[in-house]
Amino acid sequence: MHFRPFSHANTPSSPPAWAQTLCLGTAAYAILLVLAAVFYLERMAVLDMAFQTFQILRTGEVQIQSGRFGAVGTQVFPWAAQAAGLPLKGVLMSYSLGHVLYYFGVFLMVTLVLRQWKWGLVLILLATLMTAHTFYWLSEMPQGLAFLVLVLAWLHHKERLSALRWWAYPLLAAGLVTAFYFHPMVLYAMLFCAAYFFLEKPRSPIQPLYLLALAIFLATVFVKYKILKLDWYDAQALERAKAFGALWPNWFDIQSNRDFLRWCRTDYYMIPVLTVLNAAFFLWKKQGLRAALVTVAPVGFVLLVNIPFHPGDNQFYLENLYLPLGLFVAVPLVFAVLPGLLPEKRHWIPVAAIAAIGLFRIVSVHRPWTNRLHWEQDFLEKTAHREHRKLLLTEEQASMDTLVLSWGTPYEFLLLSALEHPDSARCILVDEASHRFDPLLAQPGLFLGEFKNYSFDELPRRYFNLTDTSAYVRW
């Protein structure tokens, strides 16, 4: 199979642009891999990752939540680790490193296989442009955005609709459906990219490919929300959407908007800076429609996120929803602004600068996640020699300024306590409505969880050898 480089402007005296991109991306992901190893407990012994790891170890199978089957791309790492018999630390480390390896694998496919070096630069920006707390609180959103970039890079590799063989149509459909089922809000990233390349002049032969891809994506959305039965999580999201009507016309005077502006000053400053740069470039080039798109799309998307969460919410959760903004900024920057301002061999330089700033930001925000980890570790040590070691705490008894959310504590404490040895695994639970567990406290062989309780016999003894058959006691 023959692959063509995306650009033909390489000169003999300098490395090809795709090679520069490959080197830059390899360096960036190598640093992210080191950080994932250093902060593996901050990333894994927390909320969703602790719960998913617990379930993978309990069942020996990957765990798909809310139909987001694309998450198999990262869950395969802890699944393989437990199947190979690695100890708990190896499982947690593999899961943390696996998230970075997934993104690096997508990056290598885009740059090495498809030779789409511009999309490779977009991936580097997606990983670093506005990532802060979402390096520690992991979700399917960034995984879906990276997978969407892979699909779009494949479209650019094909260049035109006539290049598709018969088998490519179901492959494209499967790729787009998978991208959407990582996270529903990947839809808006697809809409933006389609709109951006539709406005490209002179008209490009790739535009019919984008029309086909957009049609498949919208059909997938229709089937999910109008034909299939929604699970509770997606139904809850639709319920929150009623805020658009309830708050009109006061969409701007809400707490979540004020929070976002504050976070733009402290963490997401590159988003408004590069949005202004992109808009100014297109105005300079007298491309009014593109200038309007790169300005209105980010503002509209922020409102789309913030209005349903108008009272405000935890930064890490809303940051996860904001991540498509990285694509809104990166695509015009890489495909138009940098080519219009710099020679091709220097495109990597501003991307490297932005990536360096992003990597520094990731390290700088680790403190609340490390504090959270240390609080739980200290509590385990403080209570290690008590007569009663199966404990139930109310949120008032815990440091909720540090924990933030309590629902993951039974899985977090279980993992952290079992790291030393499976026999050291302990049952500790912090809950906002702890009285609901009162009828279960005296059951000696029961692990109490937020969503479901499990008998000790249901847990794998090589990871959690729970032997304390005393009753739970209140702290």
Q: What pLDDT is recorded for position 444? A: 83
Q: Does position 61 have pLDDT exceeding 90, yes or no?
A: yes
- Tokens 């403190």 belong to 367
Q: Does position 237 have pLDDT exceeding 80, yes or no?
A: no
Mind listing the pLDDT tens digit for each residue in 185-226?
A: 999 999 999 999 999 877 788 999 999 999 999 999 999 888
Q: What pLDDT is recorded for position 430? A: 95
Pair 29, 104: CB distance under 8 Å: yes
pTM of the model as a whole? 0.93
Q: What is the mean pLDDT of residues 406-418?
A: 96
Of the ranges 96-110, 141-155, 218-232, 263-277, which one carries the lowest mean pLDDT score?
A: 218-232
Q: What is the distance between the alpha carbons of residues 150 and 157, in angstroms, rounded to a whole number?
A: 10
Q: Does position 9 have pLDDT exceeding 70, yes or no?
A: no
Tell me the pLDDT band of 15, cut-offs 50, 70 and 90.
low
Q: What is the distance between the alpha carbons of residues 111 and 395, in angstroms, rounded to a whole number?
A: 48
Helix (H) or strand (E) holding 125: helix 117-128
Q: Does position 434 have pLDDT exceeding 70, yes or no?
A: yes
Query: Which amino acid, 105?
Result: G
Residue 85's region, left for phi above 0, alpha for psi from -120 to 50, else beta, is left
Mind listing the pLDDT tens digit for each residue in 307-328?
A: 999 999 999 999 999 999 999 9
- In sequence order, the β-bridge partners of residue 418 are none
Q: Does position 5 have pLDDT exceeding 60, yes or no?
A: no
Of the ranges 15-29, 61-75, 331-345, which one carries the lowest mean pLDDT score?
A: 61-75
Q: Does position 43 have pLDDT exceeding 80, yes or no?
A: yes
Q: What pLDDT is recorded for position 1? A: 36
Mind listing the pLDDT tens digit for each residue in 265-310?
A: 999 999 999 999 999 999 999 999 999 999 999 999 999 999 999 9
Q: Does position 37 have pLDDT exceeding 80, yes or no?
A: yes
Q: DSSP letters along 358-370, please? A: HHHHHHHT-HHHH
Mean pLDDT of the chain: 92
Pair 50, 411: CB distance under 8 Å: yes
Q: What pLDDT is recorded for position 108? A: 97
> Quick one: tokens of 405?
């959310």
Q: Does position 11 have pLDDT exceeding 70, yes or no?
A: no
- The SS3 assignment for 429 reads strand
Per this entry, what is the length of the chain? 475
Answer whether the bond into residue 308 is a cis peptide, omega within 30°.
no
Helix (H) or strand (E) holding 379: helix 367-382
Pair 393, 428: CB distance under 8 Å: yes
More confident residue, 54 or 233: 54
Q: Does position 236 have pLDDT exceeding 90, yes or no?
A: no
More confident residue, 470 or 52: 52
Q: What pLDDT is recorded for position 12? A: 37
Q: What pLDDT is recorded for position 67? A: 77
**What is the percent of the chain with per-residue pLDDT over 90, rounded to a whole number?**
79
Q: What is the distance between the alpha carbons of residues 355 and 334, in angstroms, rounded to a whole number?
A: 14
Mind listing the pLDDT tens digit for each residue in 455-469?
A: 999 999 999 999 888
Pairing of strands 454-455, 446-447: antiparallel
Alpha-carbon separation of residue 467 from 88, 90, 415, 427 (angstroms): 18, 23, 15, 10
